[in-house]
A and B are shown apart, each in its own frame.
Chain A
Amino acid sequence: MKTFLILGAGTGGTMMANKLVKRLDLKEWKIILVDKDEVHYYQPGYLFLPFEYYKPEDVYQPKKKFVPSGVEFILSDVELIEPEASRVTLVKDKKVIHYDQLLIATGTDIHPEEVDGMLDGWRQNIFDYYTFEGAMALRGFLKNFNGGRVVLNIKEMPIKCPVAPLEFMYLADYYFTQRGIRNKVDLIFTTPLSGPFTKPVSNKLLGDVMTKKGIHTEAEFDVMEIDSASNIIRGYDGRELEYDLLVSIPTNMGSDVIKRSGMGDDLHFVPTDKETLRSEKYENIWVIGDAANIPASKAGSVVHYAAETLIENILSALEGKPLTAKYDGHSTCHILSGFKKSLLIDFSYDTEPLTGLYPFPVVGPFPLLKESWLNYIGKLSFKWIYWNIMLRGIPFPLPPEYSSAGKKQAAVS
């Protein structure tokens, strides 16, 4: 019996377990799925929690519910991966697993300790919303917040769901408006990038959205330290911003087990071939989702599209054939803009977000790079699709490859 070991039962690991159990010969293969946590979180839902647009129970379910029969699920943290020996040691009972094929799906975590002083005010008036605990703590804080300076800071790229900070600002604008205290709140968005939008078409079409909503942007802001006694966030260039509430998107790093195993880059992401999704170094190691260093967004849609490529390449490799499936960086994202509207963007490694219709030319129905109510409904219905279709590895009636059909190339001219 050969072993196919999957580390991480998040979006990528769960989806791939569901695909592998259908495609591998289970008389020949044993599939083991390992995760340290029993709860599966619907991470796109974190954004809604601080504003009470979702109830906490909307965003979690037991992981085991999505583990198909035929897959062994082990609840444990991973102590070490030894790729040269094709061996993994778990924390629980120091169990050693010898694998024939390994899929790393260990995701990314936030590291607030990367900014000097941040932990001093952590979860007092400095919050993240990239964890369930952080989003819930922020929800508690906002309930009693009646005005002041709300500063959002992105420490550095890459981050999970790069558009979520924009969505946070738009929803905050909507939330404070609904509460009737928008005029008592200053919203300040700080980013190390050149602005909220960096791609030419997006910038041209959406560049003024922040200003229209009364959100102030501090671009090219590289945070140096936080003085939580005086509630000041300080940049390397000397800029100082006062805050009453600091919403932080801390440094995102790959899992500690990747660091412990010496398998990661500067941020503990695993060097991965961006087209085949195989480890750059080891032929029997595959990487999916946030754990990989591929230059795609860290997002569930990337995982979904990448999984279609990955399953084909794994099967090819097992049959000794060349890896012909290629992931093209395809990503589809919603940008909630508040007031029951949403924007939709669709892009790849080579093509920036463009205007047009998705997923089909002419009939759409979803307009790209444009605020619409229909997109908002699409975003809300996605939660059901996630739990019931995506995680179970059921293919969508949508092609995984990026398509330029229905998109307008000349939008910037």
Chain B
Amino acid sequence: MATKKIAGIDVNVNEEGFLTNPAEWTKEIAVELAKEEGIELTDAHWKVIDFCRSAAAANGAAPTLRAITNGSGVSTKELFGLFPKGPAKKVAKISGLGKPEGCV
């Protein structure tokens, strides 16, 4: 595990740059992480991020695409527009959550 300075704060990250402690996340960090992915955050992005943060707080894991679309009311197509190429993983990263995983 390594630490990285994002938006002026030292946070713990894994090899792929995902925050390992969701509690270290701030909105400023989200803005920086989004920039790394080439995304400028708009209200539409924040709606998804806010949903993912609260879903993860309740369930202990980043939500799946289905959970995001059902819970936030944003369609899968729109999600791919907002977070191109793999929204579930990108949203998880920007929201300071672990990436969606399998068992191995």
Residues on B with C-beta less than 8 A from A333 are 103
Whether A220 pairs with B103 at a CB distance below 8 angstroms is: no
Contact B104 A335 (CB under 8 A): yes
Knowing A220-B86, A224-B76 are in contact, say whether A297-B103 is a contact too (CB < 8 A): yes
The answer to whether A198 and B99 touch across the interface, beta carbons within 8 angstroms, is yes
Q: Which of B66, B71, B80 contacts A237 (CB 8 A)?
A: B80
Please report which residues of chain A, range 226-246, place their CB below 8 angstroms from some CB of chain B when the two chains form the complex. 236-237
Main secondary structure of the interface of A (DSSP, over half): loop
Chain B residues, CB < 8 A from A163: 103-104
Q: Mark A127-165, 1 if CB is under 8 A from B, else 0.
A: 000000000000000000000000000001100001100
Q: Is the CB of B66 within 8 A of A198?
A: no
How far, in angstroms, from A297 to B101 measured CA to CA in the complex?
A: 11
If over half of B's interface residues share one DSSP class (helix, strand or loop), that class is named, otherwise mixed; here it is loop
Q: In the complex, identify which listed stretch (B34-42, B44-52, B57-65) lies at the interface while the others stay far away.
A: B57-65
- Which of B15, B67, B80 has the most C-beta atoms of chain A within 10 angstroms of its own C-beta? B80
Residues from chain B with Cβ under 8 Å of A236 in the complex:
76-77, 80
Distance, CA A333 to CA B66, complexed state (A) = 27
Is B5 at the interface (CB under 8 A from chain A)? no
Q: Taking the complex as formed, is A406 at the interface, i.e. its CB lies under 8 A from any CB of chain B?
A: no
Kindly list chain A residues whose C-beta atoms are within 8 Å of the C-beta of B104: 162-163, 166, 197-199, 202, 206, 335, 345, 347, 353
CB-contacts of A177-227 with B (<8 A): 192-194, 197-200, 202, 206, 220, 222, 224
- Residues on A with beta carbons closer than 8 Å to the beta carbon of B64: 156-157
Q: Which of B76, B77, B80, B102 contacts A157 (CB 8 A)?
A: B102
Taking the complex as formed, is A337 at the interface, i.e. its CB lies under 8 A from any CB of chain B?
Answer: no
- The answer to whether A257 has its CB under 8 Å from any CB of chain B is no
A262 → chain B closest CB, angstroms: 15
A353 CB contacts on chain B under 8 angstroms: 103-104
A209, B60: Cα distance in complex, Å: 31
Residue numbers in B under 8 Å from A295 (CB-CB): 60-61
Which residue of chain B is the closest to A163 with respect to CB atoms?
B104
Is A331 engaged at the interface, CB distance under 8 Å to the other chain?
yes
Residue B88, interface by CB 8 Å? yes
Name which residue of chain A comes closest to B70, CB basis. A266
For the complex, give the distance between the alpha carbons of A162 and B80 in Å.
Answer: 25
A side interface size, CB within 8 A: 29
A363 to B12, CA, bound (A): 38
- Most chain A CB atoms below 10 A, which of B70, B76, B102: B102
Least CB separation from B79: chain A residue: A236
A198 near B85 with CB under 8 A, answer no
A267 located at the interface, meaning its Cβ lies under 8 Å from any Cβ of chain B in the complex? yes
- B73 proximal to A (CB < 8 A): no
Q: Which residue of B lies closest to A251 (CB)?
A: B66
Q: Which residues of B contact A335 (CB under 8 A)?
A: 104
Interface positions, chain A 300-348, Cβ under 8 Å from B, are: 331, 333, 335, 345, 347
B53 within 8 A of partner (CB): no
A200-B15, A335-B104 are contacts. A194–B65 as well, Cβ < 8 Å? no
Q: Report how far A335 CA is from B104 CA in the complex, Å.
A: 10
* Nearest chain A residue, comparing its CB with the CB of B90: A220
The 6 residue pairs across chains A and B that have the minimum distance between CB atoms: A220-B86, A198-B101, A202-B104, A236-B80, A297-B103, A198-B102
A residues within 8 Å of B by Cβ?
156-157, 162-163, 166, 192-194, 197-200, 202, 206, 220, 222, 224, 236-237, 266-267, 295, 297, 331, 333, 335, 345, 347, 353
Query: A237-B85, A333-B103 known; 15 other A-B pairs, CB under 8 Å?
Result: A156-B64, A156-B66, A193-B102, A198-B102, A198-B104, A199-B102, A202-B104, A206-B104, A220-B85, A222-B76, A236-B77, A236-B80, A237-B84, A266-B66, A353-B103
Write 12 A-B pairs (CB below 8 A) sorted by A numbering.
Answer: A157-B100, A163-B104, A192-B100, A197-B102, A198-B102, A224-B77, A236-B80, A237-B84, A295-B61, A297-B103, A335-B104, A353-B103
